[in-house]
Homo-oligomer: A and B are copies of this chain.
């Protein structure tokens, strides 16, 4: 039951694959490059993960779980959730890049962040916050979540605007986080009626 050597090999492959898939996408990633970076023979890669897409799937699941575990959802405080997401997307941009590529390359049918079981919980929490008047009830929970996500990832690798980097001046981060919090706060405010 000691940690088998193959587990370390697997791990090294996943790390190298994360880097390569995040940098180049599925079509652009190179199996040889991944194997070389991991210091693992290519045949091992195929033994563990079946094929290139299987490897991508493993990488994707790994990081999706990490983000869900790391960023707690607070339906009663959406601005805070948005800011947490902003920070996570900057510190570890891999998942956003992987997800964006997966979507563009069509390896998922429709939505991918929105289809996991963790999303159901979030939607229910939003609905509850709406009943309590803490989030506007005139926007569907699905759209609330989608918009918060989009706003939080405005400056991420998925966004079309300038991408934020960890080494940006602290003032820039603060400015964006305040803008984000204020915008999210105003967008879903529950105690007033607005017409579009």
The reply on A129 being an interface residue by CB < 8 A is no
Interface of A is mostly: helix
Please tell me the size bucket of the interface on A. Answer: 35 or more
Q: In the complex, which residues of chain B have a beta carbon less than 8 angstroms from the beta carbon of A25?
A: 25, 27-28, 104-105
Residues of B within 8 A of A187 (CB): 151, 182-184, 186-187
Question: What are the residues of chain B within 8 A of A142 when measuring CB–CB?
Answer: 162
Residue of B nearest to A177 (CB): B196
A154 within 8 A of B: yes
**Interface pair A136/B28, CB less than 8 Å apart:** no
Out of B111, B140, B182, name the residue touching A175 (CB < 8 Å). B140
B159 A154 Cβ-Cβ under 8 A: no
Q: A28-B27, A136-B182, A161-B113 are in contact. Are A150 and B154 (CB under 8 A)?
A: yes
Question: Which residue of chain B lies nearest to A139 when distances are taken between CB atoms in the complex?
Answer: B179
Considering the complex, which residues of chain A in the window 1-58 have a beta carbon less than 8 Å from any beta carbon of chain B?
A: 24-25, 27-28
The answer, yes or no, to whether A134 is at the interface (CB within 8 Å) is: no
Per-position 1/0 for A77-117, Cβ under 8 A of B: 00100000000000000001101110111000011111000
